[in-house]
A and B are shown apart, each in its own frame.
Chain A
Amino acid sequence: MNQDVSGEKTLRNTPCGQTVTITRLTGSGAVKRRIMDMGLTKGTQVYVRKVAPLGDPVEITVRGYELSIRKADAEMIHVG
């Protein structure tokens, strides 16, 4: 399960304007729970809306609402 394929697609390197589906979440405990609590669970569709003017964080649309997420955290979200 924990094979970390380098160059795997995460929410961090998804370009703006794309809709992707979450395949897997890394991390554990409070951080992972918080991200999932916000509705970012496996199989969920995410639309990458825009990047903040200074390049971080990213604004995404998930489950019909807007969410701001730092790139460092977006890296934990693997997408396909």
Chain B
Amino acid sequence: MKLALAGNPNCGKTTMFNNLTGASQYVGNWPGVTVEKKEGKLKEHKDVIITDLPGIYSLSPYTLEEVVARNYLLEESPDVIIDIVDATNIERNLYLTTQLLETGVPVVIALNMMDVIKKRGDKIDIKKLSEKLGCPVVETSALKGTGLSKLIETALSLAKAVEIQPIVHKFAADVEAALTDIEGILDGVVEKKNLRWYAIKLFERDEKIEKHFKFKADTRQKIDEIIKLCENQYDDDSESIITNERYTYIHGLMRECVKKRTEQMTVSDKIDRVVTNRIAAIPIFIGVMFLVYFISVSWLGTIVTDWTNDVLFGEYISGWATSGLEAIGAADWAQSLVVDGIIGGVGAIIGFVPQMLILFILLGILEDCGYMARIAFIMDRIFRRFGLSGKSFIPMLVASGCGVPGVMASRTIENESDRRMTIMTTTFVPCGAKLPIIALIAGAMFPENSWWLAPCAYFLGIGMVIISGIILKKTKPFAGEPAPFVMELPQYRAPGAKGVLMHMWERGKSFIKKAGTIIFASTVVIWLLSNFNASFEMVDINDSMLASIGNAIAPVFAPLGFGDWQSSVATITGLVAKENVVATMGVLHGIPDATEETVALLQSVAGSFTVVSAFSFMAFNLLCAPCFAAIGAIKREMGNAKWTWAAIGYQTLLAYVVAFIIFQLGSVFVLGQPFGVGAVIAIALIALIIWLMARKGYDPSKNRSLSAVEARN
């Protein structure tokens, strides 16, 4: 038996799903799209599968989530829909209900957050509501876990019922007449229980539904005439007529069934008055962000990350592994593989996990209590100028600590194109692991006066985010539908510990899984390459395959000013973790255990770079493909390989172009070298970037339908 869980965003659906299924959940993606699909087995009824549909406001054909949901309801025909209705926001929530009732699948309404309604002193006439809507209504409180057994009981008995749930709600007489006429045409073409659904969709001129039917020209014309007649009567388009009718119907229902106590300031209103106050909003916002950053990145985050990296992995686990392997007499190469390759590589990545979990708790709290939506409200104006949304702020902020949780924090952005854009650009912000690179270059090249280099690196990163946002927004995959930014600002409420923790674990788990597979494999490959030569003899890194590869690709970096093989190799090992760039430079310059403060390394680096090539090297390493951990996070959040490669390809290309411009023009203007072909190309590239930013760009309104939705059908 299959139950589907449907409802608006913020209606308590996730909490309800967790309550109903417990730990037996499976998280995946809906076929072909990046919308998350969650399924689970009902507690105590293991034969019942519950599918959590995406949170939606409507069943329109315009957003991916809505199309996914309605395709599921019509094609997979679940036995019952459990429609979660937020009783504190009943009017808008019932709008989706009227549409769910038309799908031909029996519906039971879980009238959620009834505890809040009672506390407020409002009254909802459940019996009348159930009568008027023609479906059972059960009072619940997902947060407190009340009413759940009755809900399940009702849903299961509804699934076993034989007769079709009749559609009770009616629109105005003229609209009903038009619908009846269309139903007449469809009679015998579609199943009886779906008749009204298809009639309404055809009336709305829903293109996705029209495609299902292969009507003859005269039938199509007949339907068109019916619609036009009604449109003329109402002086409006048919889609708007239906939407209006639904809300008119619900508004009537409200008058009959809901009694609100006279309007009063709720606690939430009072909080909001302060928190998004014109003057206080920004200082409060900065305070909250500072706290999030301080706890997850500077203070607690660093403590746990350092502990896992240096103590747990650095001492205990590699210590145990070394002595264990020595005890059983393992070969040197095996010891090195396990200790340096696997534990060193995966450990560097797992080290981020505790920090990420802390961050996820904080983000979960922000989201749960309703402040996340206010962040978007406050920051939207700035971020949408370069094609991002107000919610992109958090990922960027977090990425200045570590790109991995930064990328994963983009999860909270609903709009797919905004989310992808954020994922692609967020690792441009220099993370903690890139600081040693900056420090190395600063110490080596500008020993007297190096304070300006770090701010410069941050400006470079933020500049690239802005430039990328403007450029990418004008390309076809990002232009998307001109979706209006209408966002619900939910009521403030105290976050639930259970929900926040489950949230955290779900996100953390998926990253750990990734670390165990892709990231593991990548680090082993790098280890192999850096420890063996082509005839598979274990050698020093100087003679390894990685050195050969470095030699081979060094010419690629020559136009950027660092065509020596050491820099190339360091760049490659930077993929495991950016800190490795400095360590590798140390090894390759023959200075073991070097840090960014080792004088010998600084001198050696200063000898092999010019001021300009050093800056170019730094820029390239800051902007190019991030470490494997971040790539893994990108893959996780993008949901498919194509977008992951597109993101990494774009980052690396941009890094190359920027480093090229820096080196070529820097050589001419800083080092006073003659103006050559390279400088001409660099100027041409700048012109290209300016053109890409200034051009008019792809106009999606010329091609109405949403490409992502289109791709599925």
Residues of A within 8 A of B (CB): 1, 25, 28-39, 41-44, 50-57, 59, 63-70, 73
A35-B484, A73-B486 known; A53-B282 Cβ under 8 A:
yes
Pair B237/A37 contact, Cβ less than 8 Å: no
The residues of B that contact A50 with a CB separation of less than 8 Å are: 276, 278
B483 is contacted by which of A31, A44, A55 (Cβ under 8 Å)? A31
Asked if B17 CB lies within 8 Å of chain A CBs, one says no
A39 is contacted by which of B247, B373, B489 (Cβ under 8 Å)? B247
A59-B276, A63-B91, A63-B92 known; A36-B244 Cβ under 8 A:
yes
Number of A-B contacts (CB under 8 A): 129
Asked if B468 CB lies within 8 Å of chain A CBs, one says no
Among B483, B484, B487, the most chain A Cβ lie within 10 Å of the Cβ of B484
- Looking at the complex, which of B56-64, B136-144, B215-223, B592-600 is the stretch in contact with chain A? B56-64
Asked if B650 CB lies within 8 Å of chain A CBs, one says no
A33-B62, A52-B377, A73-B486 known; A38-B89 Cβ under 8 A:
no
Given contacts A33-B58, A73-B485, 19 further A-B contacts (CB under 8 A): A29-B62, A30-B483, A31-B484, A35-B484, A36-B244, A39-B92, A41-B243, A41-B244, A41-B247, A41-B248, A50-B276, A52-B276, A66-B489, A67-B489, A68-B377, A68-B380, A69-B486, A70-B380, A70-B486
B700 to chain A, nearest CB (A): 10
Pair B235/A33 contact, Cβ less than 8 Å: no
Pair A39/B95 contact, Cβ less than 8 Å: yes
Asked if B126 CB lies within 8 Å of chain A CBs, one says no
Q: Which of B55-73 touch A at CB < 8 Å?
A: 57-58, 60, 62-63
Q: Which residue of B lies closest to A24 (CB)?
A: B236
Q: Which residue of A lies closest to B381 (CB)?
A: A54
Q: Which residue of A lies closest to B244 (CB)?
A: A41
Pair B57/A38 contact, Cβ less than 8 Å: yes
Asked if B704 CB lies within 8 Å of chain A CBs, one says yes
Closest 4 A/B residue pairs (Cβ): A30-B62, A66-B489, A37-B58, A54-B381
A6 to chain B, nearest CB (A): 22
Pair A57/B282 contact, Cβ less than 8 Å: no
Interface residues on B, range: 35 or more
Cα(A51)–Cα(B276), bound, Å: 9
Asked if B378 CB lies within 8 Å of chain A CBs, one says yes
Cα(A42)–Cα(B282), bound, Å: 35
The residues of B that contact A55 with a CB separation of less than 8 Å are: 381
A30-B62, A39-B247 known; A52-B378 Cβ under 8 A:
yes
A64 to chain B, nearest CB (A): 6
Q: Which of B467-503 touch A at CB < 8 Å?
A: 481-491
A25-B240, A30-B706, A59-B276 known; A38-B380 Cβ under 8 A:
no
The residues of A that contact B164 with a CB separation of less than 8 Å are: none
Asked if B281 CB lies within 8 Å of chain A CBs, one says yes
Q: Which residue of B lies closest to A25 (CB)?
A: B240
The residues of A that contact B235 with a CB separation of less than 8 Å are: 1
The residues of B that contact A35 with a CB separation of less than 8 Å are: 484, 486
B520 to chain A, nearest CB (A): 43
The residues of B that contact A56 with a CB separation of less than 8 Å are: 380-381
Asked if B210 CB lies within 8 Å of chain A CBs, one says no
A44 is contacted by which of B240, B247, B704 (Cβ under 8 Å)? B247
A52 to chain B, nearest CB (A): 5
The residues of A that contact B373 with a CB separation of less than 8 Å are: 68
* Contact digits for B226-268, partner A, Cβ 8 Å, 1 yes 0 no: 0000000001110110011001100000000000100000000
The residues of B that contact A36 with a CB separation of less than 8 Å are: 240, 243-244
The residues of A that contact B168 with a CB separation of less than 8 Å are: none
Asked if B382 CB lies within 8 Å of chain A CBs, one says yes
Cα(A37)–Cα(B235), bound, Å: 19
Pair B483/A57 contact, Cβ less than 8 Å: no
Pair A52/B484 contact, Cβ less than 8 Å: no
Pair A59/B377 contact, Cβ less than 8 Å: yes
Q: Which residue of B lies closest to A65 (CB)?
A: B89
The residues of B that contact A37 with a CB separation of less than 8 Å are: 57-58, 60, 95, 243
Pair B57/A53 contact, Cβ less than 8 Å: no
Q: Which residue of A lies closest to B285 (CB)?
A: A53
Among A30, A41, A44, A56, the most chain B Cβ lie within 10 Å of the Cβ of A30
Cα(A1)–Cα(B282), bound, Å: 43
Cα(A55)–Cα(B248), bound, Å: 33
The residues of B that contact A64 with a CB separation of less than 8 Å are: 89-92, 260
Pair B486/A38 contact, Cβ less than 8 Å: yes
The residues of B that contact A44 with a CB separation of less than 8 Å are: 247
Cα(A38)–Cα(B56), bound, Å: 11
A57 to chain B, nearest CB (A): 6
Q: Which residue of B lies closest to A62 (CB)?
A: B92
* Contact digits for B371-384, partner A, Cβ 8 Å, 1 yes 0 no: 00100111011101
The residues of A that contact B484 with a CB separation of less than 8 Å are: 31, 34-35, 69-70, 73
Pair A57/B244 contact, Cβ less than 8 Å: no
The residues of A that contact B485 with a CB separation of less than 8 Å are: 57, 68-70, 73
A41 to chain B, nearest CB (A): 5
The residues of B that contact A39 with a CB separation of less than 8 Å are: 91-92, 95, 247
The residues of A that contact B247 with a CB separation of less than 8 Å are: 39, 41, 44, 63
B7 to chain A, nearest CB (A): 14
The residues of B that contact A30 with a CB separation of less than 8 Å are: 60, 62, 481-483, 704, 706
Cα(A1)–Cα(B277), bound, Å: 39
